Structure 1
């Protein structure tokens, strides 16, 4: 899967399914320093017209301090060859970071056994052959 290097970050896309609705979310950053993946609540605003009974309020902690987020179980998450059903995804406001719709963290990168190829700007599952590139 191709990744786009811009502004010092690695961008790609991810697909989420919830309530029977599939959304492709572009401009998501590959972040090997994030334990949990995070999606901008604005990228899925139609899903947040109301809160769901199983939604959890959580606090994320990082170098920038602490931020509140909503952890919601979605029907599925799909990233390249990785798919998980159901999946607990964090949603928060990213308005302070225009152009970024989320982060793909280690909760997806590790179980998917992804390799980030910085020569060809691709991300792929480990089981692909060395030197085998996306079409």
Structure 2
């Protein structure tokens, strides 16, 4: 899959399935420095991903500071035909000053054996 250079950062698109509803996210940052995958709450609410009573709430820390997130499990996440089922993600406000649908973190990359080739601007998955 080709990687787009947006804001000087690597972005790809992903497809999610949550409780049978599909959503394609076109601006997902590839971030090897993020332990988990994080989705923008404003974008995923369209398919019913909203905070619920039993959701686990966590605090995450990064370069941008501290953010409160809640955890959900996707039916699946698909990147260029590589599908991971029952995939755990976090959801937060992602108010970073740029338009972003999510962050694809190291948890997904490790599980799929991702190889990021910056010479050809591609991500290869098994």
The TM-score, its normalising length taken from structure 2, stands at: 0.90
> Counterpart of 2:12?
12
Structure-1 separation of matches of 2:91 and 2:15:
14
What value does the CA root-mean-square deviation take over the aligned residues? Answer: 1.6
Structure-1 separation of matches of 2:59 and 2:95:
17
CA offset at residue 110 of structure 1? 0.8
Structure 2 unaligned segments of length 5 or more: list them: none
How many residues are treated as equivalent by the alignment?
Answer: 125
CA offset at residue 96 of structure 1? 3.2
Structure 1 unaligned segments of length 5 or more: list them: 128-135
Structure-1 separation of matches of 2:17 and 2:23:
6
Change in CA separation of 1:18 and 1:88 when aligned onto 2, cut-off 3 Å: same
For the pair shown, the structure with the greater C-alpha radius of gyration is 1
Are the aligned partners of 1:54 and 1:72 in contact in 2 as well (CA < 8 Å)?
no
Shifted more, 93-102 versus 70-79: the winner is 93-102
Shifted more, 71-80 versus 29-38: the winner is 71-80
Alignment of 1:1-135 (within 5 A): 1-46=1-46, 47-48=48-49, 50-125=50-125
Are the aligned partners of 1:10 and 1:30 in contact in 2 as well (CA < 8 Å)?
yes
